A = this chain, B = another copy of it.
Amino acid sequence: MTRNPKAPSQLVQEVALLLERVRTERPLVHNITNWVVTSIVANVTLAIGASPVMAHAHEEVADMARLARALALNIGTLTPYTVESMILAGKAANAAGIPVILDPVGYGATPLRVGATRRILDTVKVDILRGNLAEMAGIAGMTSDIKGVDSVGAEAPGQSVALSVAKDLKLVAVVTGPTDYISDGDRLLCVENGHPLLTRVTGTGCAATAIIGAFAAVERDYVIAAASALACYGIAAEIAADHSDGPGTFAAAFMDGLHNLRPEDVAERARLSVTRV
């Protein structure tokens, strides 16, 4: 396994191109997310230049998913009703050929979350699965120590978890943390952009899932789409941290940072690396 610590310049160019494509095409991203993060998820989606919609009624989720170009699911405050909403929307998304992204918030914390995640994975073709290390390690069947919805460590490091989940479930696995790992079971990309203040604002993980959806809407290579989304996200956070005094002003500056992100920022700051297996 060789690791190239330098961001391949071609990859960085692709990130900037995809950002531009998101802004030009303004893809509609249908979110079924938890009730804590609805606002930040929608605002991050708008700030990066895409268009959010939320709908969860069984009577319309499939209709709405068919209007969208990506579907982002999040089990943060799941109920049996909303899990069913996710499955109905997921099946419609599959039929329409749009990407489905799942965020298994708090996987392992309760049997309900384990069962819901498995049921969604069994009945919907999930294209991208994004979680923190503890959640993704749990899904990989590795020992993990879950505390609520925060990642507090797991035996395996992020890259082996990403590879393992991607291979087992035949999807693109995204393990986010100080370094993000993205894998389709073959390729493994690392993104080292970001800032610790992201962990002090609720919903930044969930919003990362939505923004991955926006990039997946415009780029069918989901490894590249997810890495590009996370690089842009992390760079905006770095810029925001320079203009903030704590998590409150950071949250506002982060929206500004996403909105104002320029190709030059991406070129200067992207810290992407590719590891082949």
Asked if residues B147 and A67 are in contact (CB atoms below 8 Å), the reply is: yes
> Given A54-B35, A252-B252, is A113 in contact with B60 using a C-beta cutoff of 8 Å?
yes
Residue A142 at the chain B interface, CB threshold 8 Å = no
Q: A144: shortest Cβ distance to chain B, in Å? A: 14
- Return chain B residues, CB-CB under 8 Å to A79: 56-57, 59
- Return chain B residues, CB-CB under 8 Å to A258: 246
A38's partner among B36, B55, B149, B252 (CB-CB below 8 A) is B36
Name the interface size band of chain A: 35 or more
The closest CB in chain B to the CB of A82 belongs to B57
Residue A68 at the chain B interface, CB threshold 8 Å = yes
Give the segment of A11-19, A104-112, A153-161, A182-190 that binds chain B.
Answer: A104-112
Chain A contacts with B in 55-110, Cβ cutoff 8 A = 55-57, 59-60, 63-64, 67-68, 76-80, 106, 109-110
Q: Mark A231-268, 1 if CB is under 8 A from B, else 0.
A: 00000000000011111110111111111100000000
Asked if residues A109 and B255 are in contact (CB atoms below 8 Å), the reply is: no
- Return chain B residues, CB-CB under 8 Å to A259: 200, 246-248
Asked if residues A248 and B47 are in contact (CB atoms below 8 Å), the reply is: yes
Q: How far is the CA of A47 from the CA of B245 in the complex (A)?
A: 12
Q: Mark A2-30, 1 if CB is under 8 A from B, else 0.
A: 00000000000000000000000000101
Residue A123 at the chain B interface, CB threshold 8 Å = no
- The 5 lowest CB-CB distance pairs between A and B, nearest first, are A248-B255, A246-B256, A248-B252, A42-B202, A53-B148
Binding site for B on A (CB under 8 A): 28, 30, 34-40, 42-43, 46-47, 51-57, 59-60, 63-64, 67-68, 76-80, 106, 109-113, 147-150, 200-203, 243-249, 251-260
